């Protein structure tokens, strides 16, 4: 029987009514007591690591979780991390990047209703996370509402619906149907290759990264302020596949100033699917020529996390650009994939 470590960090899944609304109070053991079916699935150790609403999860907590998961890998066959849903995609991307060649599955999950509430999705999601931790290839995943998503490619699309997360620009890693885990075959390839490489954890990062969502009438002065405030990176949520305003309220001079000062400027899209390609339109090409880094298929969450981590690991822009633009897909994109999630 496999041995799984459950790490709790707070969130809605652990929340109870407090004086000012829901707040994390429920322990991991109390959550496990609600799911007797787990007793026959695996041996479980439980650590209450953090007790935060995920709104309060910050880069320092990513490092704490990554270190705890890395230590847990040494004597466990898998890791389950319960987490609030609001910033779970950021944490999943951070763990996917900080845990280098993990030897076991590391699975994040949460719920839209507290574990103790009637009709909560907590027990279902926790059980599915344990199934994933017991049966998936090594790697970082987010398991939610029967869907298994590669950690770097998850985003939250619903505030209340149980099907809160989707996989963006990457096939789903797997799904759970009738209590059985089904993994995409192509999700196994890179995990098998990584099994021969030594695992490590690297939590270095620089949190001085700002995000700007472009809107009609966006004032270039807003971009100029981050230079004076000592920021080292900027993520732009551009229009469409990478449109950045260069007429009337022209953003390019401010961008050029940031890059000249040594800042990293990366662009993603405001659209959920299909990614960013600055080479398609003049409004992207001109930014590309200045040195704006295109994020490709990365979500905003993943790009923010990887920009912070890149700035913490390297100073050479070529290294940073390679880190942000390289092939991060956990699957072989040349292999045709069936419609795995209906």
Distance CA 87, CA 54 (A): 6
User: Residues 146, 96, 59, 287: is their CA dihedral positive or negative?
Assistant: negative
Q: Catalytic pick from 48, 86, 121, 297?
A: 86
Distance CA 74, CA 44 (A): 15
* Active site annotation includes 128: no
Q: 99-100 and 200-201 as β-strands: parallel, antiparallel, unpaired?
A: antiparallel
φ, ψ of residue 186 to 5 degrees: the values are -70, -15
φ, ψ of residue 106 to 5 degrees: the values are -120, 115
* Active site annotation includes 86: yes
Distance CA 110, CA 167 (A): 16
Q: Is 28 helix (H, G, I), strand (E, B) or coil?
A: helix
Closest by CA to 106, choosing from 153, 144, 72, 75, is 72
Q: Catalytic pick from 202, 206, 257, 281?
A: 281
* Active site annotation includes 156: yes
- H-helix segments, the chain: 28-33, 59-73, 88-98, 122-135, 189-194, 221-228, 252-260, 282-290, 300-313, 317-325
Residues 170, 330: contact at Cβ < 8 Å? yes
Q: Which residues contact 295 (CB under 8 A, 6 or more apart)?
A: 235, 266, 267, 268, 269, 275, 276, 303, 324, 325
Query: How remote is the C-alpha of 206 from its chain's centroid?
Result: 17
The rounded radius of gyration (Å) of the Cα atoms in the chain is 20
Q: Catalytic pick from 156, 269, 297, 307?
A: 156
Q: Which residues contact 214 (CB under 8 A, 6 or more apart)?
A: 236, 237, 238, 239, 244, 245, 251, 270
Q: Catalytic pick from 85, 155, 269, 299?
A: 85
* Active site annotation includes 297: no
Active-site residues, by number, are: 12, 85-86, 156, 281
């Amino acid at each position: 029987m496999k041995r799984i470590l459950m790490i709790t960090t707070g969130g809605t899944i652990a929340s109870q009514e407090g004086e000012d609304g829901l707040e994390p109070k429920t322990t991991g053991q109390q959550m496990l007591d609600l799911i007797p079916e787990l007793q026959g699935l695996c041996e479980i150790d439980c650590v209450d690591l953090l007790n935060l609403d995920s709104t309060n999860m910050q880069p320092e907590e990513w490092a704490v979780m990554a270190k705890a998961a890395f230590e847990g890998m040494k004597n466990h066959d898998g890791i389950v991390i319960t987490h609030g849903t609001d910033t779970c995609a950021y944490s999943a991307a951070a763990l996917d990047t900080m845990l280098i060649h993990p030897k076991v599955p590391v699975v994040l999950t949460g719920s839209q209703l507290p574990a103790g509430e009637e009709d909560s999705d907590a027990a279902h999601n926790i059980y599915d996370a344990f199934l994933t931790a017991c049966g998936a290839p090594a790697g970082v995943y987010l398991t939610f509402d029967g869907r298994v998503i590669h950690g770097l490619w998850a985003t939250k699309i619903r505030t209340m619906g149980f099907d809160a997360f989707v996989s963006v620009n990457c096939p789903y890693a797997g799904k759970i149907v009738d209590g059985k885990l089904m993994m995409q075959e192509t999700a196994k390839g890179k995990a098998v290759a990584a099994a021969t490489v030594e695992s490590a954890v690297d939590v270095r990062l620089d949190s001085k990264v700002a995000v700007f969502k472009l809107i009609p009438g966006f004032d270039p002065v807003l971009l100029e302020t981050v230079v004076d405030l000592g920021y080292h990176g900027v993520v732009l949520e551009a229009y469409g596949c990478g449109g950045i305003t260069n007429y009337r309220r022209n953003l390019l001079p401010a961008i050029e100033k940031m890059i000249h000062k040594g800042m990293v400027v990366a662009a993603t899209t405001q659209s959920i699917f299909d990614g960013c390609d600055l080479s398609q339109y003049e409004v992207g090409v001109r930014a590309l020529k200045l040195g704006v880094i295109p994020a490709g298929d990365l979500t905003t969450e993943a790009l923010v996390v990887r920009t912070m981590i890149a700035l913490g690991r390297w100073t050479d822009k070529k290294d940073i650009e390679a880190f942000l633009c390289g092939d991060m897909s956990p699957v072989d994109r040349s292999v045709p994939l069936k419609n795995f999630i209906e």
